[in-house]
Amino acid sequence: MFPTVAEVNAAVERLWPLSGTESWDAPGLLSGDPSAEVRSIHLAVDAVADSVDEAIAAGVDLLLVHHPLLLRGVTSVAEDRYKGAMLGRLIRAGCSLIAAHTNADVVETGTSAVFAARLGLVDTLPIVPSTTHPQRGLGRVGTLPAATTLGTLARALGEILPATAGGIRVSGDFDAPVSTVALCGGAGDSLLTAEAVLAADVYITSDLRHHPASEARENARIARGPALIDVSHWASEWLWLETAAAELRDALPDVTITVSDIRTDPWDFVIVQ
């Protein structure tokens, strides 16, 4: 017997409790009939045209994404704009939409934890621990099994992460020694001044803007602070999808679970000067 959309959503919330959601976030069931049967689920980072069309073409009953389509408030879902068009396509195809975002970031097997594991970090802890679950929280900090250099670590990231046009940007000396690594999958400049980040040799995250990155770089030169590595937001979180799929397969053994490998990073090419 196959579960309903409501039952799938309940399983999602058991795996990634909504109690871990940041106040500004909007995960959960975004569209679909709670009583509809679910035989198949497709996972993607973003609900964009390519991933939505892929799910519909595959005939899946539910698309589970990391980034909520309705994160920012809307006043219209007319289909002459992106969000309305995506919802319209999904509804007509009978494909429900669920998002697991910051609630999936903070758990023990969440986005940053998976990223840290792929790097081989040991003795990992959250950068900002949860007050109720010390092993849960935002980001991760840990130690490499063997010390390396900043340049070598950046090159290793190039092997771990799927390729994107933006590549991997680094602020710091190529030969600087690196042992302690802090990281946050997705946008993590809010953690630049966290004590665990300041004490690390390098901080890996995404979407670093000029002013926060510049300030962190200069503070590191004068006082202390890590080198910085900026990677694709999509790539850093895509690593989590297979772990999420495996957990869903255990929770919903009768449902077919698939993972999208479509690159939904928004950049298409870069000119190197």
**What radius of gyration, in Å, describes the C-alpha atoms of the chain?**
19
CATH number of 106-236: 3.40.1390.30
- Taking alpha carbons only, the member of 81, 78, 44 closest to residue 60 is 44
Over the stretch 119-160, which tens digit does the pLDDT of each residue have?
A: 999 999 999 999 999 999 999 999 999 999 999 999 999 999
How do the domains of the chain map onto residue ranges? 5-103, 106-236
Judge whether 34 and 4 are in contact, CB under 8 Å: yes
pTM (two decimals): 0.96
Evaluate whether the domain defined by 5-103 bears CATH number 3.30.70.20. no
Over the stretch 55-103, which tens digit does the pLDDT of each residue have?
A: 999 999 999 999 999 998 889 999 999 999 999 999 999 999 999 999 9
Over the stretch 22-57, which tens digit does the pLDDT of each residue have?
A: 999 999 999 999 999 999 999 999 999 999 999 999
CA dist 108 and 124 (Å) reads 10
Burial class (CB in 10 A: 0-12, 13-18, 19+), 25: middle
